[in-house]
A and B are shown apart, each in its own frame.
Chain A
């Protein structure tokens, strides 16, 4: 895989839906999820998890370990072989 493809994959944590349980952080292989370095709290009172901004492979495991239905959204890598 080229780095160009990797750029297409991304992860997004919805700040106000995050309860900071850290499960996504624990399973993230490339280690691109982390607690928000800025000292800030969301509506639920948690210091939410953020994407560092690069390195997501779009594997999706964070989506499945996150207990919140809308907590995490993962954009997978677009397949090079496009379907018609």
Chain B
């Protein structure tokens, strides 16, 4: 144990200089008498004393405390309005040994981020939330917040908040303490020394809980906003006592700190094997080793497959991507479709590359597959010069206007129908495409088909359709 310090001074968890203000780099931007400074000091002191500053990530909200990152010498992230708990969740999940502080005001937490905080609390995220409640939107000029009191005059409730119009002020501690997951929920006040010293304890406990892996701790602090309330500091402190505390009782709502077992949840690392198993792509270990020559000569395929919903255009792309993955290529697949389950139009973008893929969007395809007329009309002009266009000539009767691209007119739907497999034109396409491009052997595709279909009983029929497509290409496209 360290001996009790005999000097109370600026905590080392604060920066020596606050960069924001040019000449005045030692003061915060907070108004005289503001409660934010009190809480900042309590947090900084606790981080010092508990030795947590080095691994703390402080998530600043939107609101007056948006600039907390200028003050705390910790990791800092500034989150979108109300989203601090979500950002904090991300930090905590990926870095479970970090100390995540979500510091939010009442507009940010109770209104705009209402659901973020509820769900972070309900998941029991192992983080610490400091909720600064001053019954107002302070930074934007004193607008009514969900926590504004009945009768409270704000810039957006100039006649006073009414129950009829705005309902009752929301009590976040009460709400959050009804959830099972949170370990510690307390409301404190900053109106007097007693309250601040109680808040000091609460801040430390909430941080210690996190360090011990005990889960979600929530500390609400009733905080003065003399400027927003248009009061002197003295009156603002009195207002907390006279009006806020009666409605927002100051007490511990829940504290299971002593009985909970601490647990730091390590992020789960998945091996390729586990991922392939989870994704039902059970072909790992059978992927094709590719020599340098193949990869050197491999030209990136940027494919767009478009047609009616129900023609299997999305499935065709997904199967091609899955099969190419087995060839040790980088792949991406992204669908685009309307709300209809059948009918409507659909298309997917598929990229096959030997290098990492940036955006999965294909804007200018070098391979375009069109299964119906509207798709040809839509995408014909987008194809790069020298690209390949595969036209489902069973349905599309017109020829291409473009003359600077290669075209294959294949009666995909007819070939499928001849096999009695009306819905398998997409597989016919894949068979024909592989036969034409020799991208990889058809056998490899046939192996992956059973893994990519939801209805396994259809695997055999789909393999047959792919073979028929390849056969058609051999018969009709003698190069």
Contacts and interface: CB of A to CB of B under 8 A. Distances in A.
State yes or no: do A and B come from one complex.
yes
Interface of A: 14, 16-17, 19-23, 26-27, 43-44, 46, 60-61, 63-70, 72-79, 83
Contacts of A26: 233-234, 237
A22 B234 contact: yes
Interface in B365-385: none
A67 B36 contact: yes
B362 interface: no
B41 A64 contact: yes
Contacts of A17: 26-27
Interface of B: 3-4, 6-11, 14, 23-24, 26-28, 30-38, 40-42, 44, 71, 192-193, 196-197, 200, 226, 232-234, 237
A22 B299 CA distance: 73
Contacts of B234: 22, 26
B38 A67 contact: yes
A37 to B, nearest CB: 19
Contacts of B192: 27
Report the 9 A-B pairs with minimum CB-CB distance, sorted nearest first: A67-B37, A21-B33, A21-B32, A19-B32, A70-B10, A63-B8, A74-B8, A73-B9, A76-B6
Nearest to B197: A64
Contacts of A46: 32
Nearest to B11: A69
Contact of A20 (B6, B24, B32): B32
A26 B232 CA distance: 12
A68 B233 CA distance: 14
B41 A73 contact: no
Nearest to A82: B3
A19 B27 contact: yes
Contact of B8 (A21, A60, A77, A79): A60
Contact of A64 (B14, B26, B38): B38
Given A17-B27, A22-B232, A68-B27, 4 more contacts: A21-B33, A26-B237, A64-B42, A74-B7
A66 B10 CA distance: 11
A73 B6 CA distance: 11
